[in-house]
Amino acid sequence: MATLDVAAEPSAEQRRFDEIIAADSRIEPRDWMPDAYRRALIRQIGQHAHSEIIGMQPEGNWITRAPSLKRKAILMAKVQDEAGHGLYLYSAAQTLGITRDEMTMQLIEGKAKYSSIFNYPTPTWADMGAIGWLVDGAAICNQVPLCRASYGPYGRAMIRICKEESFHQRQGFEILLALMQGSDAQREMAQDAVNRWYWPSLMMFGPPDGDSPNSAQSMAWNIKRFSNDELRQRFIGMLVPQAEALGIALPDPELHFDEKTQQYVGGEIDWTEFFEVLGGNGPMNVERLRARREAHEDGAWVREAAAEYARKKATRNSKEAA
């Protein structure tokens, strides 16, 4: 039937969008985009922003107890960078038509996700090393390809973020290196932290490819460039020589070099743990949200003062202009 043919024909706007994606070019905020693309980006960028902000907590826990002034200064700078990453990303998401307030409420009401990795505790100083080396390291592997994401504001935010993430990874490596060159107790502490963070860091790449519902569409839209398993594999390959340089063991007895594929291959990941933590049953889920909610409430007066200042300034400007 003719009417059906007309319905199946993509609109001029949709064709233009498809052309931009096919040319591997960028979609900008004022361009038309399909609703599903907009929703997928709001979800992904929002989750990413929340992860940066919640991710400040496990490390913020050690700022007052850093072992030296130098370590304290570095850790403060690192945690502050994460706040900055959250802000760039909230701004990128806002260009898609959601407000910062809406996103904040989704987070503190427990309706939005953030990376499960931040629901683990940080009991020792060596956790600062393991987080920088493994968690920021995994973040880099995930995020470098996002610098080419098809949505302009997201890709541009990622370029700046990745530069800072590589500093974060090196500072984590350097903390572990100092511990590994120290006493037996320090070496044990470093190894223990790596034992606890290694598997969760591999889970940061998300479920195996066969089990990852949004991946195929994200790849078709040029948001995602590599599959979860490809990125995880790349990360393991990056870690092995670094672990050797540190003299630290990666806690996977099955990890070996496969001559055929010329890649390091590891043992099976325990996904039941991943889904437990994702489902809110991780050791720190409740605490992380409680702390975020409290910080939001404690910050109310700052938001009010800033809004009042902006209002006065606007009135003054309009009087001067008159």
Contact residues for Fe ion (CB under 5 A)? 52, 82, 85, 136, 165, 168
* Residue closer to Fe ion (CB basis): 206 or 266: 206
Residue 97 neighbours by CB under 8 Å, 6+ apart: 38, 42
In whole angstroms, the minimum distance from the beta carbon of 27 to Fe ion comes to: 24
Cα separation, 203 vs 142, in Å, equals 12
* Residue closer to Fe ion (CB basis): 33 or 139: 139
* Residue closer to Fe ion (CB basis): 52 or 127: 52
* Residue closer to Fe ion (CB basis): 52 or 218: 52
Cα separation, 318 vs 167, in Å, equals 44
In whole angstroms, the minimum distance from the beta carbon of 239 to Fe ion comes to: 17
In whole angstroms, the minimum distance from the beta carbon of 142 to Fe ion comes to: 11
Cα separation, 145 vs 46, in Å, equals 18
The H or E element spanning position 4 is: helix 2-8
In whole angstroms, the minimum distance from the beta carbon of 79 to Fe ion comes to: 9
* Residue closer to Fe ion (CB basis): 163 or 311: 163
Q: Which residue from 268, 263, 285, 267 is spatially nearest to 276, judged by alpha carbons?
A: 285
In whole angstroms, the minimum distance from the beta carbon of 89 to Fe ion comes to: 9
Q: Which residue from 57, 101, 52 is spatially nearest to 289, judged by alpha carbons?
A: 57
Positive or negative: CA dihedral 168, 176, 48, 202: positive
